[in-house]
Amino acid sequence: MSIKVKLENGREAEYPQGTTCMDLYRNKVTENKNLLAVLVDGKECDLNRPLTDHSEVTFVDFDSPKGADIYRHSASHVMAHAVKRLYPTAKLGIGPAIENGFYYDIDFEEPISADDLPAIEKEMKKIIKERKPIQRREMSREEAEKLFKEKNETYKLELLADLPEDAVISCYEQDDFIDLCAGPHLSHTGLIKAFKLTGLAGAYWRGSEKNPMLQRIYGTAFPSKERLQEHLLMIEEAKKRDHRKLGRELDLFSLHEEGPGFPFLHNNGMIVWQELTDFWRVEHRRAGYEEIKTPLILNRTLWEQSGHWDHYQDNMYFTEIDELDYAVKPMNCPGAMLVYKSKMHSYRDLPRRIAEMGIVHRHELSGTLHGLMRVRSFTQDDAHIFMLPDQIEDEVAGIIELMDLFYSVFGFDYRIELSTRPEKAMGAVELWDQAERLLEKVLVDRGIEYKINEGDGAFYGPKIDFHLEDCLGRNWQCGTIQLDFQMPEKFDLTYIGEDGAKHRPVVIHRVVYGSMERLMALLIEHYSGAFPAWLAPVQVAVLPVTDRSHEYAVKISEELKNEGFRVEADLRSEKVGYKIREAQVKKVPYMLVVGDREVENNQVAVRHRHEGDLGAETLTDFIVKLKKEIAEKII
């Protein structure tokens, strides 16, 4: 029996049933010589997968996201294989591919240290050199249970028990190593050309503090040593830019055991925070937003009404007031709904754009906390737009323009994802479909490139997510636009239409910065702590060459402060070279060196932290230039 196969170039051909994707490759249906796996009707599969029905086949290599994931997932299996050779009693958890790498969670009888990673790498190289075939085995649940009981793999048995009754049970085998896995994988271990184990951390089994703490080994893998080396250099640069390290050095913020997940901003950090907030406020007023402030703690009935009590309770904090249940807000949305509902609206009042710099609290597991990136208390630059159904497209387009303005100021490129209905969603499927179509139409009509992120929408509506790319090429999800038909129903929100009857508005939830704390962390790393002049905690350092110049240095500092600049005068009896180096370490944008010559000519010698000596000029000329740089927010 023959089957039709549609190939990626659009060509269709007939092949005998049971033909494998590797057979197609050997028949030269593609010119790509670096194939790793295939997509059969959109689903990732091994190259040795037999085709049993009419299919559409697309080959993937490392330069596709799915291909890179398959490559690194296979590398995680090689690592687990090496671990089992060296530590036979170790029990395996899970080992997925992640962005730019992979990890495997493992329960060791005796904990290992980073010093043990080279030995694991050495064993991995042996397995790769042996070019062990990686073969898929499908089996019954009973066979799988027997297999993993014999191997004493208790975590695999737990995963197996959680699989649906009708699930296909598959394992992947390479030599004497076998792992419960859906796949797909490379055809043999020798295809892994370059790898590195990059770290070791603790991780609760399945992310729960109630479960055992396992050891998570991180690694990365690439198809060439050159690409691996480039990535490792990027990791080293990222370590230098780590916002936790720079946060301490630049006195921006601190973290304390007395409040895990609750960061402390210092004066320098508050200056950056305030500049970001002022910029946000000016642009939002210009875009027609009004600003509100809502309470931190609200009654349980409100959270039941909003759906958070049922859908988000595990992430919330609670308290009791006057024998009634209250919750600390994890989101600002319900407060904005109450503000809207506090008065009657006409269709002429809409759209109504309500913004809030609102503090929210969410319970994050202690093992996931990370500087300012992952915290338990943070400020969201929320906005909720209440509108007529026929205003949706214009409002979404307006938000995209606003986000583009903000991100371009910081020098970020970004990509867009459309996230669709999650498994646990509120409301009718028909409304979800309508909302998804509307968001997609805005993107398509404006020629905006995007990708679909299936099942990652909020529980109340689909969303457009903005992923920023920093100077190291890393991606961070910040802005989001969420279209919501559910909350207006939950809160019985209305407006009076042209017909004199009550109608439901539509709501858009959106953030530009996302989390102020996370944005600050991102900016610290993006700029390596060297903020542009408009954000820098200290914009100008005045450095007298000798004690004779102190009076002139103080005079200049006062003039600059009166012009609104943030200035420090270094009046210590140190050599000027030392003072310059200190200002460089503090990443001050401009240094004004003043000595006898500058005093005599009523000038300042200007130094820039990156460009070095810029020559002498009058203070007036310097002020004009710096004001222009700050006003235009030049990077």
What type of residue sits at position 127?
I
| Radius of gyration for the chain, computed over Cα atoms and rounded to the nearest angstrom | 29
Q: Which two tokens stand for residue 168?
A: 């296909």
Q: Which two tokens stand for residue 383?
A: 């906005």
> The tokens 């649906």 sit on which residue?
164
Q: What percent of the chain shows pLDDT beyond 90?
A: 71
Active site residue 382: yes
Tell me what pLDDT residue 25 has: 66
Are 339 and 230 in contact, with CB atoms under 8 Å apart? Answer: no
Are 397 and 423 in contact, with CB atoms under 8 Å apart? Answer: no
Three-state secondary structure call for residue 627 = helix
In angstroms, the first-to-last Cα distance of the chain is 65
- Arithmetic mean of pLDDT over the chain: 91
Q: Which two tokens stand for residue 311?
A: 């859908």
Pick the catalytic residue from 244, 463, 586, 607: 463
Active site residue 380: yes
| Distance between CA atoms of residues 621 and 606, nearest Å | 11
Pick the catalytic residue from 81, 308, 509, 607: 509
Give per-residue pLDDT as tens, 282-319: 999 999 999 999 999 999 999 999 888 888 888 999 99
Q: Which two tokens stand for residue 542?
A: 């005045």
Beta partners for residue 214, in sequence order: 203
Q: For residue 351, say if its preceding peptide bond is cis, omega within 30 degrees of 0.
A: yes
| Distance between CA atoms of residues 574 and 296, nearest Å | 49
Pick the catalytic residue from 179, 382, 465, 470: 382
Tell me what pLDDT residue 603 has: 96
Pick the catalytic residue from 174, 215, 380, 391: 380
Active site residue 72: no
Tell me what pLDDT residue 484 has: 86
Give per-residue pLDDT as tens, 412-437: 989 999 999 888 787 788 888 888 98
HSE-CB for 580 with a 13 A CA cutoff: 15
> Concatenated DSSP letters for 370-385?
BTTTB-SEEEEEEEEE
Are 296 and 268 in contact, with CB atoms under 8 Å apart? Answer: no
Q: What share of the chain is helix, strand, coil (3-state, %, to 5)?
A: 40, 30, 35
List of residues 6+ apart from 525 with CB closer than 8 A: 238, 241, 242, 243, 246, 470, 472
Active site residue 243: no
List of residues 6+ apart from 134 with CB closer than 8 A: 74, 77, 172, 173, 174, 185, 186, 187, 188, 189
| Distance between CA atoms of residues 136 and 428, nearest Å | 40
Tell me what pLDDT residue 567 has: 98
| Positions in the chain whose pLDDT score sits under 50 | none
Tell me what pLDDT residue 456 has: 84
Three-state secondary structure call for residue 156 = helix
> The tokens 């991995």 sit on which residue?
124
> Concatenated DSSP letters for 106-122?
EE-SS---GGGHHHHHH
Handedness of CA 180, 225, 236, 69 (dihedral sign): negative
Q: Which domains does the chain have, with CATH numbers?
A: 2-61 (3.10.20.30), 67-240 (3.30.980.10), 264-294+332-526 (3.30.930.10), 540-631 (3.40.50.800)
Active site residue 474: no
Give ∠ CA 278-284-287 in degrees, rounded to 5. Answer: 145
Parallel, antiparallel or unpaired: strands 177-180 and 169-174: antiparallel
| Distance between CA atoms of residues 514 and 67, nearest Å | 30
Are 28 and 59 in contact, with CB atoms under 8 Å apart? Answer: no
What type of residue sits at position 9?
N
Tell me what pLDDT residue 32 has: 60
Pick the catalytic residue from 156, 196, 384, 421: 384
Burial string for 250-269 (b: 16+ CB within 10 Å, else e) reads bebbebeeeeebebebeebb
| Distance between CA atoms of residues 262 and 272, nearest Å | 18
| Distance between CA atoms of residues 2 and 13, nearest Å | 10
What size, in residues, is the chain? 635
Pick the catalytic residue from 81, 362, 467, 586: 362
Pick the catalytic residue from 21, 45, 171, 333: 333
Active site residue 174: no
| Distance between CA atoms of residues 67 and 38, nearest Å | 8
Active site residue 362: yes
| Distance between CA atoms of residues 333 and 327, nearest Å | 14
